[in-house]
Amino acid sequence: MNKKTSKRPAQGRFKLWFMTAALLMTVSLAADARGIAASGSFFSFGLQDQLLSSCTPQHKRADFNGDCKTDVSVFIQNNPGFWSYYTSPSPNTNRVSFQFGQSGDIATPGDYNGDGTTDAAVFRPGVGTWYIATNTVGGFYGVSFGQSGDIPVARDYDGDGTTDFAVFRPSNGYWYILNSSNSSVSYVQFGQSGDRVVPDDYDNDGKANIAVFRPSNTTWYIRRPDGSFDSISFGLTSDWPVQADYDGDSKSDVAVFRPSTGYWYVRRPDGTLYGGPHGQSGDRPVPGDYDGDGKADFAVQRPDGGTWYILNSSTGIVTTFSPVDLGFPIPGGYLTPLY
Ligand SMILES: [Ca+2]
Ligand SMILES: [Ca+2]
Ligand SMILES: [Ca+2]
Ligand SMILES: [Ca+2]
What DSSP letter does each residue of 22-39 carry, written as one string?
A: HHHTTSGGGGTTTTTS--
Q: How far is the CA of 166 from the centre of ligand 2 (A)?
A: 10
| d(C-alpha 200, C-alpha 313), whole Å | 20
Structure confidence at residue 8 (pLDDT): 36
At residue 55, the pLDDT reads 75
> How far is CA 11 from its chain centroid?
24
Name the β-bridge partners of 167: 152, 176
- Find the helix or strand (DSSP H, E) in which 250 lies: none
Residue 212 CA to ligand 2 center (angstroms) comes to: 20
pTM: 0.84
Find out whether 209 and 199 touch, Cβ atoms under 8 Å: yes
Q: What is the pLDDT of residue 57?
A: 64
DSSP state, 21? H
CA distances from 196 to 152, 167, 181 (A): 12, 12, 27
From ligand 4's centre to the CA of 298, what distance in Å?
Answer: 8
- The closest ligand to the CA of 299 turns out to be 4
Helices (H), the chain: 21-24
Q: What angle do CA 103, 281, 241 make, to 5 degrees?
A: 70
> What confidence score (pLDDT) does residue 51 get?
40
What's residue 38's pLDDT? Answer: 32
pLDDT at 306 (0 to 100): 92
Amino acid symbol at 185: V
Residues with CB under 5 A from ligand 4 (ion): 289, 291, 293, 295, 297, 313
Residue 153 to residue 315: CA distance in whole angstroms = 32
Q: How far is the CA of 156 from the centre of ligand 2 (A)?
A: 4
Nearest ligand atom owner, CA of 311: 4
Q: Ligand 1 centroid to 325 CA: how many Å?
A: 17
Separation of alpha carbons 191 and 79, rounded Å: 34
pLDDT at 26: 24
**Separation between Cα atoms, residue 70 and residue 65, nearest integer Å:** 9
* 254 contacts 243 by C-beta, under 8 angstroms: yes
- pLDDT of 92 reads 85
Residues lower than pLDDT 50 in the chain: 1-53
Which among 194, 152, 208, 205 has a CA at the least distance from the CA of 175? Answer: 152
Cα 178 to ligand 2 centre (Å): 8
Q: In what order do the strands lie in the sheet with 328-329?
A: 95-99, 82-86, 73-76, 328-329
- pLDDT at residue 277 in the model: 97
Distance between Cα 221 and ligand 1 center (Å): 31
pLDDT score, position 93: 86
**Ligand 4 centroid – CA 155 distance (Å):** 21
Are 103 and 49 in contact, with CB atoms under 8 Å apart? no
Nearest ligand (C-alpha, residue 179) = 2
* Cα(325)–Cα(95) distance, integer angstroms: 10
The answer to whether the beta carbons of residues 37 and 135 sit under 8 Å apart is no
Q: Are the CB atoms for 139 and 119 separated by under 8 Å?
A: no
Sequence-distant (6+) residues with CB within 8 A of 149 are 125, 169, 170, 171
pLDDT value for 88: 87
Q: How far is the CA of 312 from the centre of ligand 4 (A)?
A: 6
Please tell me the distance between residue 160's alpha carbon and the centre of ligand 2 in angstroms: 5
Cα separation, 95 vs 119, in Å, equals: 16
pLDDT, position 169:
98
Q: What's the number of CA atoms in the CB half-sphere (13 Å) around residue 334?
A: 33
Give the span between the Cα atoms of 178 and 49, in whole angstroms. Answer: 27
Question: Which ligand is nearest to the Cα of residue 254, counting in written order?
Answer: 3
Which ligand is in closest contact with the Cα of 294?
Answer: 4
